[in-house]
Chains A and B, each alone.
Chain A
Amino acid sequence: MSSLPNASQLDKSGRRIVVDPVTRIEGHMRCEVNVDASNVITNAVSTGTMWRGLEVILKGRDPRDAWAFVERICGVCTGTHALTSVRAVEDALDIRIPYNAHLIRNLMDKTLQVHDHIVHFYHLHALDWVNPVNALKADPKATSALQQAVSPAHAKSSPGYFRDVQTRLKKFVESGQLGLFSNGYWDNPAYKLPPEADLMAVAHYLEALDLQKDIVKIHTIFGGKNPHPNYMVGGVACAINLDDVGAAGAPVNMTSLNFVLERIHEAREFTRNVYLPDVLAVAGIYKDWLYGGGLAAHNLLSYGTFTKVPYDKSSDLLPAGAIVGGNWDEVLPVDVRDPEEIQEFVSHSWYSYADETKGLHPWDGVTEPKFELGPNTKGSRTHIQEIDEAHKYSWIKAPRWRGHAMEVGPLARYIIAYASGREYVKEQVDRSLAAFNQSTGLNLGLKQFLPSTLGRTLARALECELAVDSMLDDWQALVGNIKAGDRATANVEKWDPSTWPKEAKGVGINEAPRGALGHWIRIKDGKIENYQAIVPTTWNGTPRDHLGNIGAYEAALLNTRMERPDEPVEILRTLHSFDPCLACSTHVMSPDGQELTRVKVR
């Protein structure tokens, strides 16, 4: 394992390539890299243009309302933020939720995870590996044979089915009026799949579209509606009445619970017969593309998730912990309340602290903007051609765990769970690596394969399997508990602010699809006094700190060889493997600032 470079060791001498967004959604990102004469990335700079408005918009509001606001922060992470917010308020006010609410929140959270992972792979990430234009050349009969070999249990595998998909694709590409596939680099040699694999993947792109619309209906049942399901401090916003037979809007009854069970089974079948085989097939063909590990080979962090026994974090299916320096033999405990553990630094961020060599724990966090560019910036304040990363260069703060930059997300959760000896996870990971080695004739070890872009993408698929499998357990437990006579879904003893202490502080944590998420709240006189969130993209997209520690996005891009530097297929592939919480248009600028190519970050 190579050691992790410090920012001061990075080679900035080669050609500079800039990938920057055009539109302005929250969580925007800009990426600059230097490549050497062999087109290998020697320096990477990730700039988040995300203003942290979340914190300030909540000041003075009712803590019980915070979830509704944070659900609107972003279009992808809605329910995750809402859940984390109600947990923060409950923690501050010492509210315990009923068992039914615990199970229903688990079902909703896992639904979001499954939905997000499937949509991410097929609709956002697959086009980094799959070439839809190449699929037009596929032989439907050979595609059918491939499908049956890759996944014998999957029913949609006839030559006629693939011929239909191909015809639809052809029509769509030729019509040209809509740009779904128009921004790709379809003649770039970085694409390696044979046409049949491309066609199979396009078919699954459409199948995933059908699947995702059904699984998300679970949110409608428990959260009243989708998009934007309802959450509630103290429990969940639905009632339960098994004797009820009403339709939409009625309490949860046996009909709706059975509907939920059917959706879980569908998602489980899709994950086993389509998603996982596809990821392994892609990995097998891109077996030589083991770039993108970066920080994953060194430092990983998880707050733990999918708690089985309420309020017992040791029962997390994916446990909390930190790994430092690539030492899988020691998973360190994580305490999100300890002011010495999680701290945010701003020496390279567009904020100011009184002393920028020191970090602040989120409960003591301040969000004072200070936009200034370094002396080596090229361009102007509003049109930056090249950023000066030796100075402040990002709107993202730099969170650190005991001073270390950490990778978060499915791969971090999976390595930590594996290192913690979780049997379910070990079986999944060992099985997948064996399948990969068998299909490729390689003999890679876990530490060679997992910390990579492919490993990150595989971990996400395995986590999807774990989530759907354990949803069956949650469902059984919920039905059992209701049948035993427990109908409680909310604890409203402390709903009235007159029951609250004058001042309180709390923290809500969760593992969002893209990684560790924390909301830290201070409440005073019944109102929000301070609210700080550290979102997964803050961890992974962090700028450097005053000691030169580099973050996950920057580290993951290093040493990657690009086929064509003007076409950032490889950059997008690795950045997308983190499932960044943004969906933006980007363009590539040449060193003189002229726009070369416009790409779309999917």
Chain B
Amino acid sequence: MTAPNILILGIGNLLWADEGFGVRCVELLNERYRFPDGVRLMDGGTQGIYLVQHVQQADCLIVFDAVDYGLAPGTLKIVRDDEVPRFMGAKRMSLHQTGFQDVLALAAFSGAYPRELLLIGVQPEELEDFGGSLREPVRAQLEPALRVALEFLAERGVVAAARDGDAERLAPAPLALGRYEAGRPAEELAYRHGDIRFIPQQPLEDD
């Protein structure tokens, strides 16, 4: 059997707290494992339609992301194949996902669409914390999310080997989880919130 062409993609904006889940998943996978040829790990950030060629090239696409499913924070939800675009396009999705639905649509229109899709999504607790990192319920799903991906790969005969030595990083060192969190300025120096219109922090009289 020829090696399948698999793309493992983490998407989201790591500067917005739980939005970083997808990127942190591929970061961890990359630190711990070596994958056979044909398997690619990618930190897709919020690149939107610029990711389309990578999706087109993949026979199988695994996406890690923070998805607003309307479930309890930290709930892991797995979606497969034809269901994936629907779950990435609904109104209450996270910040960039309309973009990723377009990526899938463009790939489909161009005639190069992955045979298999797996979306490993976590329900975020907090997005409106600029410069922040993963909240505990979401952080706790990193390991389960990785297990889902590894099992999915194993079912297709793809075995991840433990890495000895340092990996070539997917993202620059200053953005690595530990350093990112340690270097955060204190809240009194740096206001952390987003658009107040959408995040009432206390009950407002006129609402």
Binding site for B on A (CB under 8 A): 22-26, 28, 49-51, 53, 56-62, 65, 68-69, 72-76, 78, 119, 123, 168-169, 172, 177-180, 206, 209-210, 212-213, 216, 227-228, 230, 249, 350, 367, 369, 371, 380-384, 395, 583-585, 600
Complex: A172 Cα to B108 Cα, angstroms: 8
Q: Is the Cβ of B106 less than 8 Å from the Cβ of A123?
A: yes
**Which residues on A sit within 8 Å (CB–CB) of B131?**
53, 56-57
Q: Is the Cβ of A206 less than 8 Å from the Cβ of B109?
A: yes
Chosen A-B contacts, 29 in total, with CB atoms closer than 8 Å, are A22-B91, A23-B97, A25-B46, A59-B189, A60-B185, A61-B183, A68-B174, A72-B45, A73-B15, A74-B46, A75-B13, A75-B46, A75-B50, A119-B49, A178-B85, A178-B101, A178-B105, A179-B89, A227-B42, A227-B45, A227-B51, A228-B45, A228-B172, A249-B168, A367-B191, A371-B197, A380-B206, A380-B207, A382-B198
Q: Is the Cβ of A178 less than 8 Å from the Cβ of B108?
A: yes
For the complex, is B111 an interface residue (Cβ under 8 Å from A)? yes
Q: Is the Cβ of B168 less than 8 Å from the Cβ of A168?
A: no
Complex: A209 Cα to B110 Cα, angstroms: 8
Contact check: which of B44, B48, B175, B192 meets A76 at CB < 8 Å?
Answer: B48
Closest 3 CB pairs of A and B: A213-B53, A75-B46, A56-B190
Interface residues of B in 118-133 (CB under 8 A from A): 130-131
For the complex, is B171 an interface residue (Cβ under 8 Å from A)? yes
Complex: A486 Cα to B169 Cα, angstroms: 29
With known contacts A24-B195, A75-B47, A382-B204, A57–B85 Cβ distance under 8 A: no
For the complex, is B14 an interface residue (Cβ under 8 Å from A)? yes
Complex: A382 Cα to B185 Cα, angstroms: 29
User: How distant is B80 from chain A, measured CB to nearest CB, in Å?
Assistant: 15
For the complex, is B1 an interface residue (Cβ under 8 Å from A)? no
Complex: A172 Cα to B95 Cα, angstroms: 27
For the complex, is B59 an interface residue (Cβ under 8 Å from A)? no
For the complex, is B39 an interface residue (Cβ under 8 Å from A)? no
Contact check: which of A49, A65, A168 meets B174 at CB < 8 Å?
Answer: A65
Q: Is the Cβ of A56 less than 8 Å from the Cβ of B191?
A: yes
**Which residues on B sit within 8 Å (CB–CB) of A216?**
50, 53
Closest A residue by C-beta to B130: A53
Q: Is the interface of A mostly helix, strand, loop or mixed?
A: loop
**Which residues on B sit within 8 Å (CB–CB) of A371?**
196-197
16 A-B pairs besides A23-B98, A25-B46, A371-B197 with CB distance below 8 A are A53-B130, A56-B130, A68-B171, A72-B15, A75-B50, A123-B49, A169-B109, A172-B108, A178-B109, A212-B53, A213-B53, A216-B50, A228-B43, A380-B204, A381-B206, A583-B48
Q: Is the Cβ of A59 less than 8 Å from the Cβ of B98?
A: no
Q: Is the Cβ of A72 less than 8 Å from the Cβ of B175?
A: yes
**Which residues on B sit within 8 Å (CB–CB) of A583?**
48, 98-99
Complex: A227 Cα to B103 Cα, angstroms: 14
**Which residues on A sit within 8 Å (CB–CB) of B190?**
56-57, 59
For the complex, is B116 an interface residue (Cβ under 8 Å from A)? no
With known contacts A180-B109, A227-B44, A75–B99 Cβ distance under 8 A: yes
Complex: A172 Cα to B175 Cα, angstroms: 40
Most A Cβ at <10 Å: residue of B42, B91, B130, B196: B196
Q: Is the Cβ of B104 less than 8 Å from the Cβ of A381?
A: no
Q: Is the Cβ of A68 less than 8 Å from the Cβ of B172?
A: yes
Q: Is the Cβ of A68 less than 8 Å from the Cβ of B175?
A: yes
Complex: A168 Cα to B112 Cα, angstroms: 12
**Which residues on A sit within 8 Å (CB–CB) of B200?**
381-382
Complex: A429 Cα to B46 Cα, angstroms: 35
Interface residues of B in 139-197 (CB under 8 A from A): 168, 171-172, 174-175, 183, 185, 189-197
For the complex, is B52 an interface residue (Cβ under 8 Å from A)? yes
**Which residues on B sit within 8 Å (CB–CB) of A381?**
197, 200, 204, 206-207
Closest B residue by C-beta to A182: B105
Closest B residue by C-beta to A367: B191
Q: Is the Cβ of A24 less than 8 Å from the Cβ of B51?
A: no
Q: Is the Cβ of A584 less than 8 Å from the Cβ of B98?
A: yes
Q: Is the Cβ of A227 less than 8 Å from the Cβ of B95?
A: no
Contact check: which of A57, A179, A369 meets B15 at CB < 8 Å?
Answer: A57
User: How distant is B128 from chain A, measured CB to nearest CB, in Å?
Assistant: 9
For the complex, is B82 an interface residue (Cβ under 8 Å from A)? yes
For the complex, is B31 an interface residue (Cβ under 8 Å from A)? no
Complex: A365 Cα to B67 Cα, angstroms: 36
Q: Is the Cβ of A179 less than 8 Å from the Cβ of B52?
A: no
Closest A residue by C-beta to B198: A24
Contact check: which of A72, A213, A230 meets B14 at CB < 8 Å?
Answer: A72
Complex: A53 Cα to B104 Cα, angstroms: 30
For the complex, is B93 an interface residue (Cβ under 8 Å from A)? yes
For the complex, is B96 an interface residue (Cβ under 8 Å from A)? yes
Complex: A26 Cα to B96 Cα, angstroms: 9
**Which residues on B sit within 8 Å (CB–CB) of A62?**
174, 183
Complex: A6 Cα to B163 Cα, angstroms: 64
Complex: A230 Cα to B52 Cα, angstroms: 21
**Which residues on B sit within 8 Å (CB–CB) of A53?**
15, 130-131, 192, 194
**Which residues on A sit within 8 Å (CB–CB) of B204?**
380-382
Complex: A428 Cα to B128 Cα, angstroms: 46
Complex: A585 Cα to B171 Cα, angstroms: 29
